[in-house]
């Protein structure tokens, strides 16, 4: 596989150096692997810290900035960051109002954020945590016990980030983040495997002419493999899988997310089919976001995330945000 890299060992550091050059509004500590909004800590504001393995960009570093995360901790590719990174990030953004850790449900992330929370609290930082576990495809996987954390992470970080920007206290920001996660579900489909820089070849075998229904963002197996399907058929399967688990009474936010190698031409066409299914099922759509936001390196495919919202959650979703990967209203 051809990759635009120097050597596999420096991929993350090289990307962080490039991010620092492109985004002077961020403080990027390449050596310690921490990305912080430059104006942190903001007086009276709850800090939001998230992180995970690299390879899912713009998640999480691309979501650092006003209206979203205060800091992010990138690990090596598909590998959890270490507790020292998280403690350093928490200390950098804590104004005395406390810090919320947003944790995707993968075993390494959960263990390391738990350890970091204890260490940060020993340093006098109030910590709250929310676990994102929105993927309905499988209950357990290679990387986690329980549901995987995927596309809903974006909704949690955006809505909780807006609440923190308003000056809401830690307990309220945490409760909002939990409410978003409880009301969000995702399902992903892979059309091709991804290739890590270290391996230089596909990480799993997906024969030509087949797709993986319910794939994880590290290439974990899903529900089943089938012969290639049309966009219409994939939308039917994916949205029905989500709605089997989520029975929205309110309008929903829709994220049609690319896995990294699927062009917008295809994603917008897929979104048309997703919207068709939602209309047929009588599910009103409040807002839609289409693009590559929670990726898996160079995997071709897409995921669908739905999150039912009330007036408060929708207002927080619409609130201004200015990050490398998401921005509006500023």
* Active site members: 56, 218
Which DSSP helix (H) or strand (E) runs through 53?
Answer: strand 47-54
> Of 259, 113, 249, nearest to 186 (Cα)?
259
- DSSP per residue, 153-199: HHHHHHHHHHHHHTT--HHHHHHHHHHHHHTEEEEEEESS--B-TTT
Which DSSP helix (H) or strand (E) runs through 307?
Answer: strand 301-308
Longest CA pairwise span in the chain (Å):
55
Tokens at 112, concatenated:
């390391």
Look-up of token digits 């308003």? 166
Question: Distance between CA 190 and CA 218 in Å, rounded?
Answer: 11
Question: Distance between CA 280 and CA 243 in Å, rounded?
Answer: 12
Q: Are 212 and 206 in contact (CB under 8 A)?
A: yes
Question: Distance between CA 277 and CA 211 in Å, rounded?
Answer: 20
Chain CA centroid to CA 111, Å: 18
Question: Distance between CA 192 and CA 296 in Å, rounded?
Answer: 11
């Amino acid at each position: 596989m051809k990759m635009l890299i120097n050597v596999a060992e420096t991929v993350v550091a090289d990307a962080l150096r490039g991010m620092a050059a492109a985004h002077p509004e961020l403080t990027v500590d390449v050596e310690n692997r921490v990305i912080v909004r430059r104006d942190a800590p903001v007086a009276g504001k709850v800090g939001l810290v998230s992180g995970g393995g690299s390879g899912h960009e713009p998640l999480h570093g691309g979501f650092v900035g006003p209206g979203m995360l205060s800091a992010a901790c990138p690990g090596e590719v598909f590998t959890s960051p270490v507790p020292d990174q998280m403690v350093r990030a928490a200390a950098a953004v804590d104004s005395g109002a406390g810090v919320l850790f947003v944790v995707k449900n993968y075993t390494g992330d959960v263990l390391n954020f738990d350890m970091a929370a204890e260490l940060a609290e020993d340093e006098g930082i109030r910590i709250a945590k929310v676990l994102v576990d929105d993927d309905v495809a499988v209950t357990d996987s290679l990387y986690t016990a329980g549901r995987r954390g995927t596309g809903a992470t974006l909704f949690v970080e955006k809505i909780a980030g807006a609440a923190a920007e308003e000056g809401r206290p830690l307990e309220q920001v945490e409760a909002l983040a939990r409410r978003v996660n409880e009301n969000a579900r995702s399902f992903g489909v892979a059309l091709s495997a991804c290739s890590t820089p270290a391996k230089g070849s596909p990480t799993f075998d997906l024969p030509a002419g087949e797709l993986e229904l319910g794939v994880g963002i590290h290439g974990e197996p899903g529900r089943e493999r089938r012969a290639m399907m049309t966009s219409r058929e994939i939308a039917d399967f994916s949205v029905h899988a989500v709605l089997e688990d989520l029975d929205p009474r309110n309008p929903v936010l829709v994220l049609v997310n690319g896995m990294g190698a699927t062009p917008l031409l295809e994603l917008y066409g897929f979104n048309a089919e997703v919207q068709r299914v939602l209309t047929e099922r009588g599910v009103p759509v409040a807002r839609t976001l289409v693009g590559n936001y929670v990726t898996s390196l160079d995997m071709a495919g897409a995921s669908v995330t739905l999150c039912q919202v009330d007036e408060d959650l929708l207002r927080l979703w619409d609130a201004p945000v200015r990050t490398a990967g998401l921005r509006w209203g500023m």
